[in-house]
Amino acid sequence: MQASTCSCGKTVILKRKLCPHCGKLMNSIELEDDAVVLTYTTLYTVPEGFKAPIFLVLAELKKGVKLLCGCKNENDLEIGRKGKIVIENEKYFFVGNPK
């Protein structure tokens, strides 16, 4: 998982040049793919170009980093559910660990 970290303490997901908190240059780091579901929704009214329904998860990774991503399995939609972030076709998805 590519993330960016700053000397001010802010770490955010994805590659980013300037820290959104203090404006300093950020450094790229690799984050572990472990994640836990903070919240989720199933979206039925989708924008043009998308098919309904869409499962969305806001997950928490290490260092307090949050990631909004898709989810393929409705059974993984549960606050506190532990799992991993996988990348498919350059898109992020939450996949729950085997129960």
Cβ-contact 63, 5 below 8 angstroms: yes
At 16, list the tokens: 């980013």
Burial class (CB in 10 A: 0-12, 13-18, 19+), 7: exposed
At 82, list the tokens: 């532990």
Q: Which stretch binds another protein (CB under 8 A): 23-31, 45-53, 81-89?
A: 45-53
Q: Does 13 bind another protein (CB under 8 A)?
A: yes
CB of 9 to another protein, least distance (A): 12
Count other Cβ atoms within 10 Å, centred on residue 66.
Answer: 14
Q: Does 69 bind another protein (CB under 8 A)?
A: yes
Q: 66, 82, 84, 86: which one contacts another protein (CB under 8 A)?
A: 66
Contact footprint for another protein (CB under 8 A): 12-14, 20, 38-50, 54, 56, 58, 66-70, 79, 91-92
